[in-house]
């Protein structure tokens, strides 16, 4: 028998878990340095102790005769420490105020610097209140550019012992970092100058009206074909400029009404060196030693500095020293709003960056993270260190961060990464606080994480969420073994029943997950997995993912059959009930061929299904491919225009939806009626070999086919739809 853990549950109670029931244990056998054991109660393998008052800033060691000794770890007692005070660095009544929540720290000092690599310019003692908040007020005229907190408290990697370390403010609004895997940072003191928003405000379409373009800030303009000058490629500024082939002009020309940015919170771009062991990890998985997508958040209040003008990730150089990312991101948001496009941030509140010197790990790992019985980080996220969102001050940090991006940057909404790992109370706190600021704020959950999976949990909170049922049903889960209905796989009649379900918005009333169809974010591809273009290339046998591609020019150009499948998928996507999301480049069949960049990567030349680590042409959008597959791009533009033009897709509560049978088991029609508007009919034929005939009473105008969106041909009573294709008809009202 041994001690599994010993946890401080309140200011006067300790819980000891044994490997089995300690029936013969006596109170006299138990000693805790600095505490008196007043009472003991045993239940199964758990021993509950009542003790003299516990000081959370003190480390206690438990000794029991005949057992291993163990350090007491704080657990539920930490929930007693919470505060409503504003945290971080800010101006109040003419003073510069610095506040840090660090309940277990024995001492905290404020260190001020004029030079980034200076050891210290001035050090000031901070005062702790009863809730664990440390504070100091200084004259606003303080002569310093950077600041950090110097803590004496629990070690970031152990519950035993103390360390002294300079830690940037987790509430930093801007940071400067050194380019290596440790992501050493200092916080920037922010000026009081106001940004000229030019009367800008939020742009928030209704959930069912959303047409979201998921993009990466750098990838949208980093390629030379974007037409931007070299110094602006891959930046906030480049993305927001008008008059170029790529970036904002391109998105505006498509007609999408929202963009969803892969994470722009300051994140750890550089991972541990390849084939090197650091922090107990041997990097065998990432020869690029980079994290490009941004899902390793370091600071929840600061914009990623690498995307600002003039920044670099060259080793051992400094990034973000001038803090220009703050205003450049604001300018970018303002530009999108001027184009009528909402800006949604992909945010990561389920874990933080790994292997680096993340401030939360150093300030209080017991408070901020989920830990196992041995005090190690839990990793349901698969990313090494799950945040404990049930802690009051973790919840406050998340809510404060959301409000910061809404109020300081005019952000219209958020997509929450691995939202299944965020507890219910935190989801509710986010909803309440965000909607008090902007009732129309866009809230979208990625409805899984760890063992949690389910859209209904978000729908009942009036959130939207990604509909992976839709993605897997229409496209498929695997391009070789689990192809979806657009490839004519499986039972045709069963596929049509699923198609009806998806077109109605996967409603909970029919066994789906959404209370309202508008809560369903329908999509076929995202940054994860193969692009839709590559999925179709593999599924149709054009490419083998196990082998390098030969003949790139012919690879990027779609075949006639591939274009048919792409158009059918797009037609289904844009005519169903719910929101629509496109992965950037989906409209021109974007392909992610692993680029040869002199990196020791055995996969060079193959199709990439997980390009998270590549800041190169693998991920950068090549706008020459827009011209190469212009027929598909034109089709997407036509669908986007139709969805914007006809209220049948955005006034769901007023729409009457009826299905129409086609002549073959893989065909389906859908008629949408709304008062005082012509009816629409969408026709789908997913059958790979049989055309489909449909009876359509009356006269109709053919406004979209697989060939063209400009036929405007009159249809009367009957129409035939070719294999793997579809059409949209508009009722001619005077025909009745």
Instruction: Give the phi and the psi of residue 434 in degrees, each rounded to 5.
Output: -65, -40
Report the candidate in 257, 255, 227, 223 with the shortest Cα–Cα distance to residue 241. Answer: 227
Written as six digits, the tokens of 176 are 């400067």
pLDDT tens-digit readout, 13-69? 999 999 999 999 999 999 999 999 999 999 999 999 999 999 999 999 999 998 888
pLDDT value at 225 more than 90: yes
Answer yes or no: are the C-beta atoms of 725 and 685 closer than 8 Å: yes
pLDDT value at 156 more than 50: no
CATH topology of domain 3-77: Immunoglobulin-like (2.60.40)
Count of beta carbons in the 10 Å neighbourhood of residue 358: 27
Spatial distance between the Cα atoms of 128 and 112, rounded to a whole number of angstroms: 19
Same fold, 3-77 and 652-735: yes
Average pLDDT over residues 238-252: 95
Strands (E), 633-690: 656-661, 667-673, 680-685
DSSP 272: S
Q: How sure is the predictor about 179, in pLDDT bands with cuts at 50, 70 and 90?
A: very high
Range with the poorest average pLDDT among 34-48, 379-393, 649-663, 697-711: 697-711
Instruction: Give the phi and the psi of residue 3 in degrees, each rounded to 5.
Output: -85, 125
Q: 3-class DSSP state for residue 49?
A: strand
pLDDT value at 587 more than 50: yes
Spatial distance between the Cα atoms of 348 and 298, rounded to a whole number of angstroms: 10
pLDDT at 736: 47
pLDDT value at 551 more than 70: yes
Instruction: Give the phi and the psi of residue 570 in degrees, each rounded to 5.
Output: -65, -40
Range with the poorest average pLDDT among 104-108, 405-409, 712-716: 712-716
Q: What is the mean pLDDT of the chain?
A: 94
Answer yes or no: are the C-beta atoms of 713 and 702 closer than 8 Å: yes
pLDDT at 159: 45
Report the candidate in 456, 711, 470 with the shortest Cα–Cα distance to residue 574. Answer: 470
> What spatial distance separates the first Cα and last Cα of the chain, rounded to whole Å?
86
Spatial distance between the Cα atoms of 185 and 369, rounded to a whole number of angstroms: 21
Q: For the chain, percent helix, then strand, then coil, each to nearest 5? A: 25, 30, 45
Written as six digits, the tokens of 723 are 């294999």
Spatial distance between the Cα atoms of 472 and 191, rounded to a whole number of angstroms: 49
Count of beta carbons in the 10 Å neighbourhood of residue 18: 20
Is CATH 3.40.50.10860 correct for 81-167? no
Cα–Cα separations (whole angstroms), residue 524 to 57, 263, 455, 487, 492? 51, 20, 17, 14, 20
Report the candidate in 259, 315, 263 with the shortest Cα–Cα distance to residue 291. Answer: 263
Answer yes or no: are the C-beta atoms of 348 and 295 closer than 8 Å: yes
Report the candidate in 688, 676, 681, 675 with the shortest Cα–Cα distance to residue 723. Answer: 688
Q: 3-class DSSP state for residue 587?
A: helix
pLDDT at 277: 75
pLDDT at 317: 94
pLDDT at 162: 43
Q: 3-class DSSP state for residue 485?
A: helix
Average pLDDT over residues 324-348: 98
pLDDT value at 272 more than 80: yes
Answer yes or no: are the C-beta atoms of 344 and 258 closer than 8 Å: yes
Answer yes or no: are the C-beta atoms of 48 and 41 closer than 8 Å: yes
Better pLDDT: 731 or 279: 731
Residue where the block lists tokens 């009051």: 392
Portion of the chain with pLDDT greater than 70, in percent: 97
User: Taking the model in full, what pTM does it have?
Assistant: 0.96
Average pLDDT over residues 207-219: 98
Report the candidate in 588, 575, 572, 574 with the shortest Cα–Cα distance to residue 632. Answer: 588
Q: 3-class DSSP state for residue 186?
A: strand
CB crowding 108-144: b at 16 or more within 10 Å, else e: bbbbbbeebeeeebeebebebeeebbbbbeeeeebeb
pLDDT at 606: 97
Report the candidate in 332, 326, 311 with the shortest Cα–Cα distance to residue 269. Answer: 311
Q: How sure is the predictor about 279, in pLDDT bands with cuts at 50, 70 and 90?
A: low
Report the candidate in 348, 384, 356, 347 with the shortest Cα–Cα distance to residue 369. Answer: 384
What is the CATH code for 652-735?
Answer: 2.60.40.1180
Q: How sure is the predictor about 710, in pLDDT bands with cuts at 50, 70 and 90?
A: low
Residue where the block lists tokens 């103390």: 162
Spatial distance between the Cα atoms of 542 and 545, rounded to a whole number of angstroms: 10
pLDDT value at 659 more than 90: yes
Ordered by start, the domain boundaries in the chain are 3-77, 81-167, 652-735
């Amino acid at each position: 028998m041994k001690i599994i853990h010993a946890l401080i549950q309140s200011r006067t109670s300790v819980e000891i878990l044994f490997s089995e029931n300690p029936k013969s244990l006596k109170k006299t056998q138990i000693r805790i340095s600095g505490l008196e054991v007043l009472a003991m109660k045993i239940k199964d393998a758990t021993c509950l102790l009542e003790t003299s008052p516990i000081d959370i800033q003190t480390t206690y060691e438990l000794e029991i005769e005949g057992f291993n000794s163990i350090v007491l770890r704080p657990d539920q007692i930490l929930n007693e420490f919470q505060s409503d005070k504003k945290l971080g660095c800010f101006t109040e009544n003419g003073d510069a105020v610095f506040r840090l929540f660090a309940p277990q720290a024995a001492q905290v000092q404020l260190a001020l610097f004029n030079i980034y690599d200076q050891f210290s310019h001035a050090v000031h003692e901070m005062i702790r209140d009863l809730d664990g908040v440390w504070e100091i007020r200084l004259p606003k005229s303080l002569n310093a550019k950077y600041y950090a907190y110097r803590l004496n408290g629990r070690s970031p990697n152990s519950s035993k012992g103390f360390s002294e370390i300079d830690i940037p403010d987790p509430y930093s609004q801007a940071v400067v970092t050194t380019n290596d895997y440790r992501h050493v940072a200092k916080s920037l003191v922010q000026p009081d100058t106001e940004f000229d928003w030019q009367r800008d405000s939020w742009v928030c379409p209704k959930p069912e009206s959303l047409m979201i373009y998921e993009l990466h800030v750098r990838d949208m303009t980093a390629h030379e074909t974007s037409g931007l000058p070299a110094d602006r490629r891959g930046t906030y500024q480049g993305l927001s400029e008008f008059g170029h082939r790529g970036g904002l002009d391109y998105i505006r020309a498509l007609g999408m009404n929202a963009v969803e940015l892969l994470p722009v919170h300051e994140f750890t771009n550089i991972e541990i060196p390849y084939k090197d062991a650091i922090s107990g990890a041997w990097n065998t998985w990432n020869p690029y030693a980079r994290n490009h997508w941004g899902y390793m958040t370091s600071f929840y209040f600061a914009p990623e500095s690498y995307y600002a003008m003039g920044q670099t990730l060259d080793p051992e150089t400094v990034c973000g020293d001038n803090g220009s990312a703050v205003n450049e991101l604001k300018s970018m948001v303002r530009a999108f709003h001027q184009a009528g496009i909402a800006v949604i941030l992909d945010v990561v509140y389920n874990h933080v960056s790994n292997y680096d010197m993340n401030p939360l790990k150093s300030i209080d790992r017991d408070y901020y993270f989920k830990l196992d019985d041995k005090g190690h980080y839990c990793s349901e996220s698969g990313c090494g260190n799950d945040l404990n969102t049930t802690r009051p001050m973790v919840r406050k940090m998340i809510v404060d961060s959301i409000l910061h991006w809404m109020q300081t940057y005019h952000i219209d909404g958020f997509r929450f990464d691995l939202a299944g790992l965020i507890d219910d109370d935190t989801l509710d706190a986010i909803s309440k606080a965000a909607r008090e600021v902007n009732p129309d704020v866009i809230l979208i959950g990625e409805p899984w994480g760890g063992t949690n999976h389910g859209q209904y949990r978000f729908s009942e909170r009036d959130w939207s969420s990604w509909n992976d049922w839709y993605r897997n049903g229409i496209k498929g889960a695997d391009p070789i073994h689990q192809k979806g209905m657009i490839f004519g796989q499986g039972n045709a009649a069963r596929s049509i029943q699923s198609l009806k379900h998806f077109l109605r918005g996967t409603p909970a009333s029919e066994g789906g997950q959404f209370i309202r169809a508008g809560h369903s974010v329908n999509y076929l591809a995202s940054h994860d997995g193969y692009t839709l273009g590559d999925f179709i290339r593999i599924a149709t046998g054009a490419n083998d993912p196990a082998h390098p591609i030969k003949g790139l020019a012919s690879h990027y150009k779609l075949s006639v059959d591939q274009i048919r499948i792409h158009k059918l998928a797009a037609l289904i996507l844009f005519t169903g009930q719910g929101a629509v999301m496109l992965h950037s480049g989906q409209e021109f069949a974007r392909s992610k061929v692993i680029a040869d960049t002199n990196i020791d990567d055995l996969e060079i030349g193959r199709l990439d299904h997980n390009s998270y680590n590549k800041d190169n042409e693998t991920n950068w959008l090549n706008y020459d491919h827009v011209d190469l597959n212009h027929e598909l791009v034109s089709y997407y533009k036509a669908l986007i225009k139709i969805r914007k033009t006809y209220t049948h897709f955005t006034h769901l509560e007023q729409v009457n939806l009826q299905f129409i049978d086609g002549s073959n088991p893989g065909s389906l029609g859908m008629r949408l009626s709304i008062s005082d508007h012509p009816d629409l009919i969408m026709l789908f034929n997913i059958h790979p070999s049989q055309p489909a005939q449909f009876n359509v009473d009356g006269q109709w105008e053919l406004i979209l086919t697989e060939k063209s969106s400009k036929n405007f041909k009159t249809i009367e009573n009957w129409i035939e739809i070719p294999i793997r294709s579809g059409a949209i008809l508009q009722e001619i009202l005077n025909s009745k």
